[in-house]
A and B are shown apart, each in its own frame.
Chain A
């Protein structure tokens, strides 16, 4: 059974704080690293992005997240790894991606977080509609 990575709406600071707290009992860990993706208020032709509405091919996306997880565990010495991605509407300034890796030592988590985030950007079928303040929109493309 594959994990469902998607969470409806923004990922709250409380959720992130609780995730960190849950690791206090795992005393083999010596280093955590966290990546937070935040919705940016991009300006396009004088209009400003106010939110992104995410949709996804969820079955395939969860399969890809699973493969990325497996690859990261193979490549790096990790105790644990958590990935959450928003689905639905997330306002600018709110968090839409939360990646959390833990290892006995720091070097592993620096490399692991970059690997995981880049893989997500390139291979996971998530789509984003950038909604402007006047309700018009454009489709976001990862660079």
Chain B
């Protein structure tokens, strides 16, 4: 499936873009992490969470939505 992935903060510095279309053939969030690590090797040592449809998901969650975001540590307030 074709995902729209949004990148923020130091993650966007690595990907050099804030959003892209990404063709994904896996099942779970962990598969997506692996696919992203193949494309962006520098992501492997970065701390980030993944949101699907604006909700944080764990590695075991199945990818069902097309809006995905990679979120580095929060710094609000």
Contacts and interface: CB of A to CB of B under 8 A. Distances in A.
A59 interface: yes
Interface string A26-37: 000000000001
Contacts of A59: 54
A59 B51 CA distance: 12
B75 A141 contact: yes
Interface size class on chain A is 20 to 34
Contacts of B73: 127, 139, 141-142
Contact of B75 (A57, A63, A123, A128): A128
Interface stretch (B6-14, B22-30, B31-39, B58-66): B6-14
Contacts, number: 69
Contacts of B72: 127, 139
Interface stretch (A17-25, A73-81, A114-122): A114-122
Given A57-B69, A57-B71, A125-B51, A37 B77 contact: yes
A129 interface: yes
